[in-house]
Structure 1
Amino acid sequence: MRAPDDDDWLYEHSRVLGERIRAARDRQHITQERLYLGAGISRNVLQLIEAGRHNPTYFTLLRIARVLDVPLTDLVR
């Protein structure tokens, strides 16, 4: 399988990931502060992730999923 000629699809996946994190946080009434402190990341990093403008590490995603008490697959499907 040949890779696409551009990376637009990657940016779209990042945007959707950020939306899923924000939606899970909102559903549970979890503040950004509670999430970034619980996940051990900075506020700026969380804001960038939720905006789809950051490429989080696997460990960061696992931490976020744990704080949100959701399976990682719910965020990255």
Structure 2
Amino acid sequence: MPSDPIPQWVIDARRDIGARVREARTAQRLTQEQVAERTGLDRKTVSRIETGSYSTLVDHLLLLARALDVPTRDLVG
């Protein structure tokens, strides 16, 4: 388990990733619900990833990249 509390740079990176996911989603005019359906994730999970309030799994990023038709590296930066 990571150190407690989580370092600020990790929280900032999580928010940056979420912003990239949101940008990719809105560029395609998709709702969070539509992305959730495409990935099999819960809409709340998609929302939490976008806001950076959720420590996402690599698996989720892979699902999101495929659903949004973008390279995974574009989401991670």
**Residues 1:8 and 2:8 aligned together:** yes
Letter in 2 for 1:25: R
* Aligned residue identity for 1:19: A
Taking structure 1 as the reference length, the TM-score comes to 0.89
The aligned counterpart of 2:27 is 27
CA distance in 1, matches of 2:33, 2:40: 11
Q: Which residue of 1 aligns with 2:3?
A: none
Find the structure with the greater CA-based Rg.
1
How many Å apart are 1:30 and its aligned residue?
1.1
How far apart are the structure 1 equivalents of 2:75 and 2:56?
Answer: 12
Gaps of 5+ in 2: 1-5
Equivalent residue letter for 1:10: V
Report the Cα offset of residue 55 of structure 1: 1.1
What residue number does 1:50 align with? 50
- Overall identity of the aligned pairs, in %: 38
Q: Counterpart of 1:42 in structure 2: which amino acid?
A: D
Q: Secondary structure of the residue that 1:64 maps to in structure 2?
A: helix
Distance in 2 separating the partners of 1:49 and 1:24: 13
Detail structure 1 runs of 4+ shifted over 4 Å in the superposition.
none
| 1:69 paired to 2:65 | no
Q: List runs of 5+ in structure 1 lacking aligned partners.
A: 1-5
